[in-house]
Chain A
Amino acid sequence: MPNATALVDKNLNLACSSKGWYTVFSFLEKPIKNQLEYFKSNNNEWFTILEKSLNNGKEIQFRCTIGNTEITKHILWTFKPFLTEENLITGVIVTAKDVSTVVEKEIQIDKLNALLETKSEISKVGTWEYNLENNKLSWSKMTKKIHEVSEEYNPDVETAIKFYKQGHSQNRISMLVHKALENGETFQERLQIITAKGNERWILSSGKPFFKDGKITKLLGTFQDVDEQVKTELKVTESEQLLHTLVDNLPLNIFIKDEGSRKILVNKAECEYLGVKNPKELIGKSDFDLYDADVAQISRDEDLQVLKTLQPILGKETVSTRKDGKKTTFMTSKIPLLDVYGKAYALIGISIDISNLKQKEDELRRLIGITSIQNKKLVNFAHIVSHNLRSHTANFSMLLEFLINEKEQEEKDRILGMLSKASDNLLNTLDNLNEVVKINTNTNVTRESINLKKTFESVHENLIALFERNKVEFKNVIPSKLNIYGIPAYLDSIVLNLLTNAVKYRHPKRTPKITVTAEKEGDRVVFSIEDNGIGIDLNKNGDKLFGMYKTFHSNDDARGIGLYITKNQIEAMGGNIITCSELNKGTTFKVYFNEGY
């Protein structure tokens, strides 16, 4: 392009000009001879600068627009003083360069920059550029802002890296930059910096190498403040972690079930209870997959109730039976989980295994039962003792009173006879009581396995005279293999007493028939002695049957002690006795014991 050059002399006259010079002013409608006239009327500044250059002999560059309403040109003017050999300024060489395209681009770039800046302001994304050729690092405004340095700050690579937090962040960025320079790898990573003001901040740094002729000349990158985001994420992760740790390590079974009662979350305790290592094995499974059908149905009904009514079930005692048959007692709560619309989409279940507690409670209950029975027995015995001794002493007292006031010898002898009888009665009672005490205190008498059939046979042999005298039809159909665990002497006494009673209370109009049988019932052995005697009205006397000194028949040899002792002996051996009887038909005593080996 031909240069647009003109020489302006000292008097500000156009001395000469190149061809291109006219092109600059092509917009003028009427070509003028002296283009300087244009500036005279349109741009005084132009002249001022020209004069400045003329006066101080310095080269000045100046940009301005020329043109009319239709055409505008951006011209870069260069004023270069023209010197004589004697260094005298004789004029100025004016060169005009049309820079319109450049300026338009500049405007566009400015616009883009403004846009970018706004964008970077909003998204807190800054940029950086590292020029390898001159080893210069430059940061954008935002990058500087993130670093909390002033806009005039000039970073270099070394200081830039030092902004990164010592340790992981610093090591990592060094390595990433190194790799980018060496291998041309791009990077993007979340790291921490310490700002100029000492604030710790999470940033997202990315970098990308630029190549020229196969060589890396630049690294360009972005620099984003992601502090809030990361901190929020960290918080969420932390609370999630906290929740997980809590849920997993609580000594409770925790699970979440969806509307179909399928598990969507289980904790460690629940996994352990159901015997799986990985929670994934339980996810998606329903109670029907894991428990006994009955238990599962109950649980499902509960779930539906909670999901429907939104009322939680709290602290309900339930017994769970696993597929393998293991029973566990749980205290279970089920709480509905609501979505944003207040509709239940799942439920949280919390169960505590209270089997141990339950077992202890049962044990305690059993012990209380035993204790209260013992207590009852003791009170009962105390009553018996006090009543029986009292009745004897009352008799003594009365008879002695008579004796003191009696004058007649004959009557005195009678009273003395009565006294001696009362004394015998007392001794007898004491013997009986002593026997009862012995039974109840000799709990550590050696127990052994005793054959039932043999015991009955030997007792029967001892009673043979009594049985024959009364023509008893005796049937012993006890299986020969049945053994009970107990005290042989007591068993002999029990059998003897019950068999004797069966004969004693025979029906006067019938041939006495006594049948003894035995069988196993679970881990107990039961034998029964059935007679066809006069029977007992159990409605009237059932509660007194085994009481001391209670008799129900007018037989003279009824002492009211036999069944009392029998019952005590049976209970001392851990057994129990029940009675079935109908008046005038007969009586059956059933005695239960632990099985012998």
Chain B
Amino acid sequence: MRDIKNIFVIDDDSITLFGVRKMLSRITTTSNVFEFKNGQMAIETIKERILNSNALPEVIFLDINMPILDGWGFLEEFIQLKIEQGILINIITSSIDPNDRERWLSFKDKTHHYIDFVNKPIYKIELKDLHKMDLAS
């Protein structure tokens, strides 16, 4: 299995950031894990990378409740971007609000990216969470 080149973790909670990073370290050797405190910072970085033809993240871990631009706001802008390859986005949230689950489903139908929805707490990130696109293609 090839290694993941770029992983974005977008979450304003430092403990979650720590946890995701720790769980990733168990299954991948990549050092290219980028953290963002909110959706705005992440989307700007992605736009910049598209502009400069730099490598885009293959996997994104996305929180919903964040300042400035939240997870939904990020997704809204993200799916408008011209990105050919399908990117795996793992929504990780402590929200058990059914509305959030419905919004996820509606986003799923609107894009060619792979969007997954995981409720906190998470204890383990598995390889399949990083390679779904390979299985699909």
Please give, as numbers and ranges, the residues of chain B lying within 8 Å of A387 by CB-CB distance. Answer: 65, 94-95, 97
| Contacting pair A398 B37 (CB below 8 A) | no
Q: Scan A540-551; emit 1 where CB is below 8 A from any B CB, else 0.
A: 100000000111
Q: Scan A454-498; emit 1 where CB is below 8 A from any B CB, else 0.
A: 000000000000000000000000000000000000000000000
| Contacting pair B15 A550 (CB below 8 A) | no
Please give, as numbers and ranges, the residues of chain A lying within 8 Å of B13 by CB-CB distance. Answer: 391, 395
Q: Give the total of A residues in contact with B, Cβ under 8 Å.
A: 27
Query: Which segment of B54-62, B83-91, B106-114, B117-125 sits at the interface?
Result: B117-125
Asked if B16 is at the interface of the complex by the 8 Å CB criterion, the answer is yes
Contacts A395-B13, A398-B19 given; does A540 touch B121 at CB 8 Å = no
Nearest A-chain residue to B94, judged by Cβ: A391
Asked if A553 is at the interface of the complex by the 8 Å CB criterion, the answer is yes
Q: Scan A366-396; emit 1 where CB is below 8 A from any B CB, else 0.
A: 0000000000000000010011001101111
Please give, as numbers and ranges, the residues of chain B lying within 8 Å of A397 by CB-CB distance. Answer: 121, 123
In the bound complex, how far is the Cα of B13 from the Cα of A395, in angstroms?
10
Contacts A395-B16, A553-B67, A560-B67 given; does A390 touch B123 at CB 8 Å = no
Q: Scan A417-454; emit 1 where CB is below 8 A from any B CB, else 0.
A: 01001100100000000000000000000000000000
Contacts A422-B15, A551-B68, A554-B68 given; does A398 touch B121 at CB 8 Å = yes
Asked if B34 is at the interface of the complex by the 8 Å CB criterion, the answer is no
Please give, as numbers and ranges, the residues of chain B lying within 8 Å of A396 by CB-CB distance. Answer: 121
Asked if A401 is at the interface of the complex by the 8 Å CB criterion, the answer is yes
Contact partner of A402 (CB less than 8 A), chosen from B19, B37, B67, is: B19
Nearest A-chain residue to B97, judged by Cβ: A383
Taking each of A387, A394, A396, A402, which has the highest tally of chain B beta carbons within 10 Å of its own beta carbon?
A394
Asked if B49 is at the interface of the complex by the 8 Å CB criterion, the answer is no
A-B Cβ contacts below 8 A, count: 65
Contact partner of B123 (CB less than 8 A), chosen from A391, A393, A398, A552, is: A398
Query: What is the distance, in angstroms, from B100's C-beta to the closest C-beta of chain A?
Result: 10
Query: What is the distance, in angstroms, from A441's C-beta to the closest C-beta of chain B?
Result: 25
Please give, as numbers and ranges, the residues of chain B lying within 8 Å of A402 by CB-CB distance. Answer: 19, 22
Please give, as numbers and ranges, the residues of chain B lying within 8 Å of A558 by CB-CB distance. Answer: 67
| Contacting pair B67 A391 (CB below 8 A) | no
In the bound complex, how far is the Cα of B66 from the Cα of A549, in angstroms?
9
Please give, as numbers and ranges, the residues of chain B lying within 8 Å of A393 by CB-CB distance. Answer: 121
In the bound complex, how far is the Cα of B5 from the Cα of A586, in angstroms?
43
- Tell me the A residues contacting B by CB distance below 8 Å: 383, 386-387, 390-391, 393-399, 401-402, 418, 421-422, 425, 540, 549-554, 558, 560
